Amino acid sequence: MEKTIVKCESCGRPFDLGREGIFLPAAGGCLCRACERTRSGSRRGLSAPRPLWAGTAAKLFFGVLFAYIGVFENRPWDWTFLLVGLGIGLGLIAWGIEPVRRYRRERQAAVAAVRTAAAEKKAEPLRRLRRPRVCAACGATGTGEICEYCGTRLPEA
């Protein structure tokens, strides 16, 4: 994924929002992982914590193991054994994958929000110029930088 480098609002450190930290829509800024931890009450950005690698790996490992035993070590064949093995196995796998998916989803949403905010900020001066304003010199209403009737600079929107 393309990097989205933002500056931490609190400590000023630049970081990749695609990998860590949170976006605070209300403040329009971002906090790095370290500052996110120290600042309580500012967890309005991401709610999903970064999943622990070891925990995810253990759930996936035992999930696959249970499913494997249920299917391939099922001798003599027993449907209950199969269902229990598969049920526990698939349950463990889903349990392991879900936090990772949630974390990714929220992180992508944060990156998208930052990009949208940046694009809007960039478009704001243009939008202002397009807004009709009254010329102070001749009283005509115009858009753009200068009055098209008398050439006077139009006031800021």
| Among the residue ranges 50-58, 102-110, 124-132, 135-143, the one whose residues contact Zn ion (CB under 5 A) | 135-143
Q: Which is nearer to Zn ion, 29 or 91 (CB)?
A: 29
150 is a contact residue toward Zn ion (CB under 5 A): yes
Q: Which among 12, 23, 10 is positioned nearest to 112, based on CA atoms?
A: 23
42 is a contact residue toward Zn ion (CB under 5 A): no
Task: Give, in order, the Cα–Cα distances in Å from 63 to each of 59, 72, 97.
Answer: 6, 14, 11
> Which residue in the set 1, 11, 27, 52 belongs to the binding site for Zn ion (CB under 5 A)?
11
CB 11 within 8 A of CB 33: no
Write the interaction track for Zn ion spanning residues 93-132; mark x where CB under 5 A is met and - where it is not. Answer: ----------------------------------------
Distance between CA 141 and CA 132 in Å, rounded? Answer: 6
- Minimum gap (Å) between residue 113 Cβ and Zn ion: 18
CB 38 within 8 A of CB 22: no
| Among the residue ranges 29-37, 67-75, 87-95, 122-130, the one whose residues contact Zn ion (CB under 5 A) | 29-37
- Minimum gap (Å) between residue 139 Cβ and Zn ion: 7
Distance between CA 93 and CA 143 in Å, rounded? Answer: 60
